[in-house]
Chain A
Amino acid sequence: MPDDKNLNLSPKPSDRIAKTTCYMCACRCGINVHMKGDEIRYIEGNRDHPVNQGVLCAKGSAGIMQHLSPARLRSPLKRVGKRGEGKFAAISWDEAMEMATSWLKPIRENDPKKLAFFTGRDQSQALTGWWAQQFGTPNFAAHGGFCSVNMAAAGIYTIGGAFWEFGSPDWDRTELFLMFGVAEDHDSNPLKMGLGKLKERGIRTISINPVQTGYSAVADDWVGITPGTDGLLIMSLIHVLMKTGQIDLDYLMRYTNAPWLVIRNPGQADDGLFLRDKDNKPQVIDTKTGKTVAFDTPGIRPKLKAEIKVKSGGMATPSFMLMVDEWLDETYTPEATEDRTGVSASRVYGLAKSIADAAFSREVVINEPWVDWKGERHETMIGRPVSMHAMRGISAHSNGFQTCRALHILQILIGSVESPGGFRFKPPYPKPAHIHPRPAGKADQVKANTPLAGAPLGYVLSPDDLLVDADGTPSRIDKAYSWDAPLSAHGLMHMVISNAYAGDPYTVDVLFMYMANMAWNSSMNTRGVIDMLTETDPETGEYRIPKIIYSDAYSSEMVAYADLILPDTTYLERHDCISLLDRPICEPDAVADAIRWPVVEPDRDVRGFQSVLLDLGARLGLPGMVDDAGKPLYADYADYMTNHQRKPGIGPLAGFRGSDGTNAGRGAPNTNQIQQYIENGGFWSEELPENARFFKMANSHYQDFAVRMGFFDKPEPYVFQIYSEELQKFKLAAEGHGKVQPPDHMRDQIKTCFTPLPVWYEPFEGSAVDAKTYPIHALTQRPMAMYHSWGSQNPWLRQIHGHNPLFIPGNLARSLDVTDGDWVWVESHHGKIKVPVAVMEGINPNTVWTWNAIGKRRGAWQLDKDAPESRKGFLLNHLIHELLPMKGDGLRWANSDPITGQAAWYDLKVNITKAEAGDHPVIEPDFPVIAAPPDMPERPDVLRYGDTIIAQEIAQNKKGENQ
């Protein structure tokens, strides 16, 4: 045995362990940061944390490199050259804050909507949204509009929550798991942990996705569907399940609006609305008495099949009958849908059979008595153990909202939402649309020196709630909550720059953004957006978007296009709260929230954006941020996290409340709260009572718990909305009813798309372009080891994903005569790119795909100008326009879902031809090098991370030996 002096079997891994929250993606896992002196030795998952239970993904494990990136901004910057030149001067924070204040103060004093404040991948929307509200601008949103608002909104409107942070499969009890369009990112670790559990239990998993990577690769069944046709497949499944009686009638009667009476009075203003009593309660017919009673009457059994005359005219039937009419239609037979979806009829029958078997032959029963919202006691909890998860693959289409709704309805019809073994909500969800506030920001609510009457984002219930003026002009710069996108619950960040540039509906004075790479991978039509940011008005010489303030921790592509840069910290240098008021991290059995806290101090002149925002708010004298004397109320974000109260007893953090820190949910501020979080591992969690864990929407024990925790002020039970009266109200408006009317040119589209029961229609781009000219679908998948643009500067992660080929199916490769490493031209109605290819069999035969957000602009992110991310990494964004091509009506319609405004990234249709590679093949378009901000550090040629830690260890050992 050789004498291996280096071998120490028991080195001390750390001097101290700091437990905080990861921010390498949006999952928000708990991490243990092992510190050796001032250096980070190692980051691992926190075993006690509810989200990741000890595991950690590749991104999280590469956090050290993100924290130490040479692309970190070093001080506030003011632009001194032209926009896009990247010429900046470093300035002090005082100067930066004075500059920002001087730009924003006159806006607030005159017309607050002239500030557009959009916060990208913000995890502090409870603060940033409130800040916008206090400023008085309706122009606030984060990135949801170009991400997955279809999923989120369809979930809220249908069942009171969607997937991911809203709910989870019941991993321990489910008997079948289906994924629709899950692109390997959200939610990262919990989904992988869940799949591991299912494999352990031998449970079958099915992945419906045009591309067979990641989760699809380990699924027992991969269904390579044609992009944009998921809704049709889902409705075909519904067709078969209904037709064969494989639906849960008891569940439908108890927990859904299937028995609610719908007025059928064609042509009249009440057609398609629910029949309501004088208290405005929807009506059902009781089977026992035959009487028409309110839906929430205890002891009734409502009819699913009936027809009554309505006194005021027309007939009324349970909405269930409309569902039968709709989905038993021959349009949805597997034989009728197979050509479009690319999923054979026999496969659809097979899927339906699997779902029915799991739901009804493998019923799960939990012996836990509970009392429902009507006071009826149940001795057991009966479950339909089929669970589902879906993500952007089905939502980032112009038919995504209705597709997502259809998926939830499939879950409901088999009785699997909130039942054991099915899909389970995470508190504070379920929370249906009507409990959420309406958006504030109508023209008369936007006033100088005045906060908005409510939060800028919310859920509209009818055209009356739209933010439009009398002639239909949108109130918001992104046209959210206008007829363009009535249910745009997350705003439309992707439309802000183009609308502000065009002055449609108006111009803005300041565009203020945080963590949003709009000059690169977060925009459609990247080249066009860059032009909009740099174009000046020839008359005044002023930029079309006069002033841009941007906050980011890194030298991203967007930096060069801003006028004032407010440098943020890394995630290990900051305070944050992962709040129940924002996007929660709860689990189905437990309510939880968490913090970040400075594990290391910044070595640069940077500040956490949230602290900066509070400072700016105080300088502007925003109500809630200053006291009566005009002095700042909060020293920084940590102070706000501890002491801010949204309403008495309710603050950003729900744990350790009350003066002694023993309260949960509600309680007075606790000055020691953050310390108690730190001592508890960076998070707080409290379990739900056993009898409150299922049927939460109808469970009196859960409702009481929710009130106790402060989710609601009174119990808010409700039933699932299979039939959407909200959508019907928009449809009625399009038919001419009501006082808030759409523009005439939009009526037909609204009538087609705003159906109260989901329909499938062809994605807009597909129907707008010639299918022969652009026959191929093109889309992206998010790599598991990379997340947006943050990751591709990371020296470890970029060795895994440093460039991205276009993956093309074998049949297409053969017809084009191309193979791995060859180059092709990809052309859409909007643009043309030249990219390298890789051949893959596991793709839908009419689809090509690539990894998302790896391509970088030369010079950005402190990477070498010849980095593979720039030479062989590309964006599909150059092919996608925010507007559809002309369709002969003289108008250019939005490339978005017409209901929510979600960017329809995955509607893209392309043509592909072989390209000559040339001697030095580089992707096209090849943008010019962008200059780095001043005073950025040199890029090291060699990285030997850990050498000083190892040296320290050896020195300590020697010292120990000598003693």
Chain B
Amino acid sequence: MTCLPSASGKKLGLVIDLDICVGCQACVVNCKEWNTAGYGAPLADINPYGDNPSGAWLNRVHAFEAGKGADARVVHFPKSCLHCEDAPCVTVCPTGASYKREEDGIVLVNEDSCIGCGLCAWSCPYGAREMDPAEGVMKKCTLCVDRIYNEHLAEEDRVPACVRTCPTSARHFGDLGDPDSDVSQLVAARGGYDLMPEQNTKPVNKYLPPRPRPRHEIEDVDLVSMAKKTTPKGFWKWLDQALDQLPG
């Protein structure tokens, strides 16, 4: 049993906009690319050229269809660790390897202490942790902790790799503990929500729901009736009038 830190003000996390995620997987691969040579052991791939390739990833995008028939909509759902305030993956860890940073709320795994028991993955209601198939240690999103404070990177690049690379700007990074931060404002404006709040994990990451999409089968009375009534002769009459109204 590992203890969570007493709540601190800073809560770093991601805000993911489901209205614009096109499911391109850029964040998924760029995350793998940055993190395989970064913090902790490489993100291994087993059978990489074989009959059943698999590997450890810190971020995945799931695509599914919600609704039936004409109301069905394809949803692309990126999912990584949500850096919960009440992270069950931390409290369940028997060795103290899984921990939540007091200074910014990031949940990490100290791989030197990780025994690969998998309890944390089992306790995570989001399925956001993956066992490294070669190293036997638990892997998870670090919010690119080796980027966001990195003095070797330009200020604008001190964001998680997934945020920097996202082509549609569907991913945002910031302090969700600060109600005035850009990400908090965005969550407030767009009705950002917690994933599975009933689990009481208090996730820091937030999702922005798809904006309402009004159906546009408008029967615009003027246009439809005009189109139905207009004859070629009527068209030429309109043309003459329209040409007369043009300047010069």
Stretch of A341-349, A463-471, A687-695 that contacts chain B: A341-349
Alpha-carbon distance between A70 and B50 when the two chains are bound, in angstroms: 12
In the complex, which of the residues B37, B108, B161, B164 contacts A946, with contact meaning CB atoms closer than 8 Å? B37
In the complex, which of the residues A350, A862, A942, A947 contacts B45, with contact meaning CB atoms closer than 8 Å? A942
Q: A11-B38, A841-B72 are in contact. Are A58 and B24 (CB under 8 A)?
A: yes
- Contact: A305 with B22, CB < 8 Å? no
- Contact: A55 with B167, CB < 8 Å? yes
Q: Does B39 interact with chain A (Cβ within 8 Å)?
A: yes
- Contact: A249 with B51, CB < 8 Å? no
Chain A residues contacting B165 (CB-CB under 8 Å) are 44-45, 55-57, 61
Stretch of A212-220, A561-569, A666-674, A740-748 that contacts chain B: A212-220
- Contact: B227 with A9, CB < 8 Å? no
Chain A residues contacting B5 (CB-CB under 8 Å) are 1
Q: How far is the CB of A727 from chain B (nearest CB, A)?
A: 24
- Contact: A350 with B145, CB < 8 Å? no
Q: How far is the CB of B79 from chain A (nearest CB, A)?
A: 14
- Contact: B68 with A841, CB < 8 Å? yes
- Contact: B169 with A200, CB < 8 Å? yes
Q: A9-B150, A55-B167 are in contact. Are A945 and B49 (CB under 8 A)?
A: no
Residues of B16-39 contacting chain A, CB below 8 A: 17, 19-26, 28-30, 32-34, 36-39
- Contact: A942 with B46, CB < 8 Å? yes
Q: Does A354 interact with chain B (Cβ within 8 Å)?
A: yes
Summarize B's interface: helix, strand, loop or mixed: loop
Chain B residues contacting A193 (CB-CB under 8 Å) are 167-169
- Contact: A842 with B73, CB < 8 Å? yes
The residue in B57, B74, B168 that gathers the most chain A C-beta atoms within 10 A of its C-beta is B168
- Contact: B151 with A10, CB < 8 Å? yes
Alpha-carbon distance between A202 and B19 when the two chains are bound, in angstroms: 11
In the complex, which of the residues B24, B45, B242 contacts A785, with contact meaning CB atoms closer than 8 Å? B24
- Contact: B42 with A945, CB < 8 Å? yes
Complex interface bits, B117-159 against A, C-beta within 8 A gives 1, otherwise 0: 0000000000000000111000000000110011111001000
Chain B residues contacting A798 (CB-CB under 8 Å) are 53
- Contact: B168 with A941, CB < 8 Å? no
What is the size category of the interface that chain A forms with chain B? 35 or more
Q: A62-B33, A218-B22, A243-B227 are in contact. Are A942 and B44 (CB under 8 A)?
A: yes
Q: A64-B33, A800-B25, A944-B134 are in contact. Are A240 and B99 (CB under 8 A)?
A: no
- Contact: B219 with A217, CB < 8 Å? no
Q: Does B217 interact with chain A (Cβ within 8 Å)?
A: yes
Chain B residues contacting A244 (CB-CB under 8 Å) are 223, 226-227, 230
Chain B residues contacting A213 (CB-CB under 8 Å) are 23, 63, 74
- Contact: B108 with A324, CB < 8 Å? no
- Contact: A217 with B75, CB < 8 Å? yes
Alpha-carbon distance between A344 and B43 when the two chains are bound, in angstroms: 50
- Contact: A941 with B50, CB < 8 Å? yes
- Contact: A54 with B164, CB < 8 Å? yes
Q: Does B197 interact with chain A (Cβ within 8 Å)?
A: no
Alpha-carbon distance between A61 and B34 when the two chains are bound, in angstroms: 9
Complex interface bits, B157-175 against A, C-beta within 8 A gives 1, otherwise 0: 0000100111111100000
- Contact: B226 with A796, CB < 8 Å? no
Stretch of A77-85, A262-270, A864-872, A883-891 that contacts chain B: A864-872
Q: Does A311 interact with chain B (Cβ within 8 Å)?
A: no
Alpha-carbon distance between A945 and B36 when the two chains are bound, in angstroms: 6
- Contact: A6 with B74, CB < 8 Å? no
Q: Does B40 interact with chain A (Cβ within 8 Å)?
A: yes
Chain B residues contacting A9 (CB-CB under 8 Å) are 145-146, 149-150
Chain A residues contacting B238 (CB-CB under 8 Å) are 245
- Contact: B22 with A214, CB < 8 Å? yes
- Contact: B216 with A351, CB < 8 Å? yes
Complex interface bits, A310-340 against B, C-beta within 8 A gives 1, otherwise 0: 0000000000000011001000011000000
- Contact: A240 with B227, CB < 8 Å? yes
Alpha-carbon distance between A22 and B208 when the two chains are bound, in angstroms: 32
Q: How far is the CB of B41 from chain A (nearest CB, A)?
A: 7
Chain B minimum-CB-distance residue to A222: B73
Chain B residues contacting A629 (CB-CB under 8 Å) are none
Q: A245-B238, A840-B65, A943-B44 are in contact. Are A795 and B227 (CB under 8 A)?
A: no
Alpha-carbon distance between A618 and B233 when the two chains are bound, in angstroms: 68
Interchain Cβ contacts under 8 Å between A and B, 13 examples: A1-B5, A7-B108, A10-B149, A42-B37, A62-B29, A199-B211, A221-B216, A305-B240, A353-B218, A796-B29, A796-B33, A841-B65, A939-B49
Besides the contacts A57-B26, A217-B22, what 19 more A-B pairs have beta carbons closer than 8 Å?
Answer: A9-B150, A11-B146, A61-B26, A62-B29, A196-B169, A214-B23, A218-B21, A220-B216, A328-B235, A354-B216, A784-B25, A785-B25, A796-B32, A796-B45, A797-B29, A840-B65, A939-B50, A946-B38, A950-B41
